[in-house]
Structure 1
Amino acid sequence: MTDEFERRHGFPPGANQVRPADHDDQAAAKALDEVGLAPADLVTFYGRIGDLAWEDIGNGYFIDPVPDVLRRLEAHGAVDLGAVPEAGRGLVIGSNGGGLSYVTGPSGVVYRTRTASLDEPELDRVADDLRQFLERLEESLARFIANGEPGNL
Structure 2
Amino acid sequence: MLNGLLMVNVAYIRRWREDVTACLDRLLPGFEVRFGYPPGRHTVGGPAGEEELASLAGMRLPGDLLVWYRQVREASLPDVGNGYFIDEPGLVARREVTAIRGSFTADVVVFASDGGGTLFAVDAVTGSPVYRLPAGEIVAGVYRSDDPRFDVVAGNLAGFLDRLRDTVERFATMGVVGDL
Relative to the length of structure 1, the TM-score reads 0.85
Partner of 1:80: 100
Q: Deviations over 1:24-65 (max 9, x none)?
A: xx44335525522x2100011011111011000100001110
State how many pairs are aligned. Answer: 145
Read off the aligned partner of 2:130 and give its amino acid letter.
V
Distance 2:170 2:59 in 1: 36
C-alpha displacement at 1:21, in angstroms? 1.9
Secondary structure in structure 2 of the residue aligned to 1:42? helix
Distance 1:128 1:30 in 2: 27
Of 49, 63, 68, the residue aligned with 2:72 is 49
Alignment of 1:109-148 (within 5 A): 109-118=129-138, 119-122=143-146, 123-148=150-175
Query: Unaligned stretches of 5+ in structure 2?
Result: 1-26
| 1:15 and 2:41 matched | yes
Relative to the length of structure 2, the TM-score reads 0.73
Contact 1:2 1:13 in 2 (8 A): yes
| 1:107 and 2:107 matched | no
C-alpha displacement at 1:94, in angstroms? 1.3
Read off the aligned partner of 2:156 and give its amino acid letter.
D
- When structure 1 is superposed on structure 2, of 126-135 and 112-121 the one drifting more is 112-121
Secondary structure in structure 2 of the residue aligned to 1:133? helix
Read off the aligned partner of 1:40 and give its amino acid letter.
G
Over 3 Å counting, the alpha-carbon distance change for 1:121 and 1:39 in structure 2 is: farther
Distance 1:146 1:80 in 2: 35
Contact 2:97 2:110 in 1 (8 A): no
Contact 1:30 1:43 in 2 (8 A): no
C-alpha displacement at 1:92, in angstroms? 1.2
Distance 1:60 1:77 in 2: 21
Over 3 Å counting, the alpha-carbon distance change for 1:95 and 1:114 in structure 2 is: same
| 1:90 and 2:113 matched | no
More helix by share: 1
Query: Unaligned stretches of 5+ in structure 1?
Result: none
Partner of 2:86: 63
> Matched residues, percent identical?
32
Distance 2:174 2:119 in 1: 25
Contact 1:100 1:116 in 2 (8 A): no
RMSD of aligned residue pairs (Cα, Å): 1.8
Distance 2:62 2:44 in 1: 21
